Amino acid sequence: MIFIAYGGILVDIFCARGIEAARANGGICMRGRRGLRLITALIVAVFAAAAGYGVSVLNGGSDGMSVHFIDVGQADAALVACEGHYMMIDGGNAADSDTVYSYLRKNGVDSLDAVICTHAHEDHVGGLSGALAFARTSAAYCSVTEGDSKAFDSFVAALDAQGIGITVPEPGDSFMLGSAEVEFLGPVEEYDDANNSSLVVKVSYGQTSFLFTGDAEYESETDILEAGFDVSADVLKVGHHGSDSSTSYRWLRAVDADYAVISVGKDNSYGHPSSEVLDRLADADVQVYRTDLQGDIVFASDGSELTVDTSAGEALKPTQRAALFGRFYVFMHSGRDVCPAFFLLGV
């Protein structure tokens, strides 16, 4: 199936069973060569408009929000974009600095509203110095202000060079990223274990939300739930790369996510993600995306619906299945600007 959203109109081309679905959503359905001519014309128009106005495929330029789970192997890194405002949540290992630097440079993100380091382990903090080598930030958050690794020292040094200190947020603290709310939900207790000390962050935009858990494990998950925080989210960044020490059934029931993202390295020595966690996610009827299988994973939100694009795997839209001809989504404003030119293919 091929859907195009243009100015609020949904066009469904080559729809085997999509006519009624398209009409129900206020759209139209066309078949055959006429559909091919239309899709070709619109694709050309979008690329021409994007070239003319210098629009990046990075969503969140002037409208909408996107969350980019960057493939950094056995590590975590995410870029959040909302209405021209940007934020990093973790940055992978020190060896991923070039990857993170290149991702920001490719998308023209040279200014960050905030950098969040969920905790001081290298596979979360290491590449943030690469991000800060390209982009300036206005704020930095972490669960600690001091670490015992060269990677954390490099992060602190990069912040010092910009005159930025680390803020340790309290549960319930929040700030705005454009129209999106960024709220810290945990940790609610002090732990000796760095994983449980991970900042747990909820990003809400309109009716859609994302939950980032760092490497938080059962103990932290339970304490956050006992504290009464609303952890419900459409997308869950699975804790600790899919380790069995995280993502309990109770946590999954409370989050009630439609999608989960596991940031994990291919054939890693830890056996992540664990079969137990994958079984729990399946039992909870959660659609799972993995960076080891699909590379970079990008979610886009218009405040009410989510779309997802992957660099190497199937992309799904809620309540729909990939069909013979794949999918192509283009979200455009009515008017002069095109934002974002966002392409979604699945087979």
Q: What pLDDT score was predicted for residue 261?
A: 96
Residue 161 lies in a domain: yes
Question: Do 149 and 250 lie in a common domain?
Answer: yes
Give the domain CATH number at 255.
3.60.15.10
Helix, strand, coil share (%) of the chain residues, nearest 5? 30, 25, 45
Question: Do 194 and 246 lie in a common domain?
Answer: yes
Q: Residue 13: which domain range?
A: 1-54+314-347
Question: Do 80 and 7 lie in a common domain?
Answer: no
Q: What pLDDT score was predicted for residue 211?
A: 98
- The residue type of 318 is P
Residue 309 lies in a domain: no
Question: Do 125 and 18 lie in a common domain?
Answer: no
Q: What pLDDT score was predicted for residue 14?
A: 33
Question: Do 78 and 160 lie in a common domain?
Answer: yes
Tens digits of per-residue pLDDT, 51-99? Answer: 333 334 454 455 799 999 999 999 999 999 999 999 999 999 999 999 9
Residue 177 lies in a domain: yes
Question: Do 179 and 242 lie in a common domain?
Answer: yes
Question: Do 180 and 324 lie in a common domain?
Answer: no
Question: Do 80 and 185 lie in a common domain?
Answer: yes
- The residue type of 232 is S
- The residue type of 173 is D
Residue 288 lies in a domain: yes
Question: Do 97 and 229 lie in a common domain?
Answer: yes
Residue 60 lies in a domain: no
Task: Report the DSSP pairing between strands 114-117 and 140-142.
Answer: parallel
Residue 106 lies in a domain: yes
Q: What pLDDT score was predicted for residue 313?
A: 57
- The residue type of 188 is V
- Alpha-helical runs (H) found in 54-118: 97-106
Question: Do 123 and 239 lie in a common domain?
Answer: yes
Q: Which residues of the chain have pLDDT under 50?
A: 1-57, 59-60, 315-347
pTM (2 d.p.):
0.74
Structurally, the chain folds into a number of domains equal to 2
